[in-house]
A = this chain, B = another copy of it.
Amino acid sequence: MSNLYDLGLPKTAANHVALSPVSFVERSAEVFGDLPAVIHGQRRYTWRELRDRSARLAAALRALGIGRNDTVSVMLPNTPEMIEAHYAVPALNAVLNTLNTRLDASLLAWQMHHCEARVLITDREFAPTIAPALRLLRDEHGRTPIVIDVADSEYLGAGERLGTHEYEALLAEHEPLARLEGPQDEWDAIAVSYTSGTTGDPKGVVTHHRGAYLNAVCNAATWTMPHFPVYLWTLPMFHCNGWCFPWTVAMLGGVQVCLRKVDAPHILGAMRDHGVDHYCAAPIVHNLLIAAPAELHAGLSDAGPSGAGPSGAGPSGAGPSSAGRKKIRGMVAGAAPPASMIEGMAQLGFDITHVYGLTEVYGPASVAVQRPSWAGESLSDQTRLNGRQGVRYPLQEGMTVRGADDMVETPADGQTMGEIMFRGNIVMKGYLKNPAATEKAFEGGWFHTGDLAVMEADRYVKIKDRSKDIIISGGENISSLEVEDALYRHAAVLACAVVARPDDKWGETPVAFVELRPTAHVTAPELVAHCKSLLAGYKVPREIRFEEIPKTSTGKIQKFALRERARAGAAVAVAVTAPAAVKP
């Protein structure tokens, strides 16, 4: 082994710097400084102004004593201040903790205590939750973070002032930091985000600069995003740092359109008013858009209902000089968005890219890259192909489906189930103060997602279920997602969830919880007949219950609560049919 290339070729300031997404902010301020960066109600910031505000925030936080590895918690909707926190906190080598704004006071206090928050930046709208959370922190944990109140011009309500500092005043008091720079070591933490916990205690997912940088870049490369996108903040930034998109848009010198309130009129209005061309959202947001009155859809996008197919992996619209509106492109994640949602969005003329990921992998980590040959498939086949979890992000090193016990990769047969696992630079550092959970998550050199899937013949991954959501009936695996997908294909179904109920004869049987659209009607026997037309008999729900479905603060369905309900029996339960013979 030669050392020919090791000698006299050291790292210097000229040829090495730690990877950090903060670098994109400086670049856009430098070379696109006069271009628009943020739109929020009547507020407008250029890239130079946004960088300047972020650098003032960084200077103010530094003056408050914030430095390397100090945690800054934020309780903010998708406002300019939330974007600025994503640029300022990492530039201090501090760690950003974005609190889920839907949590209750005790959980907020628990998280801020766990990650040892030294500063809290909070929007006045959340004072009613934050005030008791701060009292809990002080009284139970003996911890008192410095509180900075944000009085957003777009928030019209009241809201107690809780802190000793006011955001805009603080910015005015401090000269901007000379330069927003990354840390010395790109492995340093950039953020800690708590999983919402469909089961058990929340875990603090610690991510690093290197991973955030690479995923920010990979979002752009995977989605073929052009320079200067107009990006709408439908996805909460508190969710995995907005899948790294605050940094992706900075890299591309784009515009971030803020949004305090995520409902169909606000979303569609912002899209129309500001020429939005990109956004990310959960399936549930898309259902809102599909269900919105037709007049809200008018004039949004180039393509009419006929432009329903995938338009290839590249962007559908031409460049800015092209006549007419650009096609609006949405990135949607979720274990398995119902086919009806993908079809519905296509019929509205939106171009939907389907991704899959988790907080532990910085948001999206795989993508259903649309192959050219799909254009020749039928619309329903396109929808099926496009609705899969797909292939790993190009900057992620590995994605596999393996037996969790034997770590053997499952064959690409579309049948054999295994657990989805990732490895590479876009995987978290680990769980904060939880080495046992970290070690378990990384067992065998792969990050275990807990999601069960098959690998199809083209090596695209298709999720079947969360491992704990599989229903085992008469020795057969039933994917609750497959049954839910069948239910969603009934026009009356707004939301549904299928869980296992213990059964003396079959081991488990599927029970469905269903919410109907406001004006729709359907009976349980009708829904069962509908399912029978689509599913093998043993997969048809044994019971259908029209009840409100409990969700976590991030909108995930709480199946563990439903399982308890199913076990306990229920007031509104309507027993329908016995499952058919188990073997098809």
Contacts and interface: CB of A to CB of B under 8 A. Distances in A.
Interface of A: 1-17, 19, 23-24, 27, 30-35, 67-71, 95, 115-116, 187-189, 192, 206, 211, 217, 220-221, 224-228, 251-253, 309-322, 369-372, 375, 391-392, 394-395, 397, 422-425, 427-430, 432-435, 438, 441-442, 445-447, 458-460
A116 B35 contact: no
Contacts of A187: 11, 16
A392 B27 contact: yes
Contacts of A375: 320-321
Looking at chain A's contact residues, is the secondary structure mostly helix, strand, loop, or mixed? loop
Contact of A445 (B12, B224, B315, B429): B12
6 contacts: A2-B116, A5-B188, A9-B189, A13-B423, A319-B370, A321-B375
Instruction: Quickly give the copy total for this chain.
Output: 2
Contacts of A460: 31
A426 to B, nearest CB: 9
B251 A221 contact: yes
A371 to B, nearest CB: 7
Nearest to A427: B15
B318 A314 contact: yes
A71 B10 CA distance: 19
Given A8-B430, A438-B9, A224 B2 contact: no
Given A1-B68, A221-B251, 13 more contacts: A2-B69, A5-B95, A5-B188, A14-B422, A14-B423, A16-B187, A19-B425, A31-B460, A224-B315, A309-B321, A310-B319, A314-B319, A316-B319
A460 B34 CA distance: 13
Contact of A17 (B16, B313, B319, B423): B423
Nearest to A443: B14
A486 to B, nearest CB: 29
Contacts of A425: 15-17, 19
Contacts of A2: 67-70, 116
